[in-house]
A and B are shown apart, each in its own frame.
Chain A
Amino acid sequence: MSLRIVEEEMDPEIKELIEKGFDKTKVLKVSLPKPGAVVQRNVDALLTGFKYVVKPMRLTIDYPYKAVEYPEGYRGMFRVDDNKCVGCSLCDVVCPADAIRLVLKDKKKVPVINWGRCIFCYFCVDICPVEAFETTKYHDAVFTRFEDMLTTLEEFTKRPEDYVPMRKIGKRYKVVIDEYRGLRYEPVG
Chain B
Amino acid sequence: MVYIGPLEIPGRLIYDFLHIFILPGFGAILVLVILIIWAERKIAGLVQLRYGPLHVSRRIGGALQLVADLIRYSLQEFIVPENVDKIAYLMAPALALLFAVIPIAFMPTAPGIAPPIYVEPNLLLILAVISLAPIFVIVTGVASDNKFAFIGSLREAFLMISYEIPFIISILSTAFIYGTLDLYKIVEAQSKAFLGVLLNPFAALVAYIAILRITGRFPFEISEAESELVMGPYTEYSGLMYGVAMGIGYIKLYVYTLLFSIVFLGGWLPISSTGNIVFDYILGNIILLIKASILMLIAVFLRSVYPRYRIDQAVRLGWSLILILSGAAVAWSLIIRLIIWR
Contact = CB atoms under 8 A, between A and B. Distances in A.
**B interface: dominant SS:** loop
A175 to B, nearest CB: 15
B54 A57 contact: no
A46 interface: yes
B273 interface: no
Given A58-B49, A59-B49, A53 B54 contact: no
Contacts of A62: 51, 54
Nearest to B298: A46
Contact of A49 (B50, B54, B305): B305
Contacts of B51: 58, 60, 62
Contacts of A50: 301
* Most chain A CB neighbours (cut-off 10 Å) among B49, B50, B51: B49
B47 interface: yes
A52 interface: yes
B278 interface: no
Contacts of B46: 52-53, 56, 58
A52 B51 CA distance: 12
B47 A53 contact: yes
Interface in A9-45: 45
B288 interface: no
B238 interface: no
B305 A52 contact: no
A53 B305 contact: no
Nearest to B39: A53
Contacts of A56: 46
A169 B50 CA distance: 19
A49 B306 CA distance: 10
B304 interface: yes
A57 B305 contact: no
A52 B54 contact: no
A153 B329 CA distance: 77
A2 B204 CA distance: 43
Interface string B234-276: 0000000000000000000000000000000000000000000
Given A52-B47, A52-B49, 6 more contacts: A49-B301, A49-B304, A53-B301, A57-B49, A58-B51, A62-B51
Interface of B: 43, 46-47, 49-51, 54, 301, 304-306
12 contacts: A45-B306, A49-B301, A50-B301, A52-B46, A53-B43, A57-B49, A58-B49, A58-B50, A58-B51, A59-B49, A60-B49, A62-B54
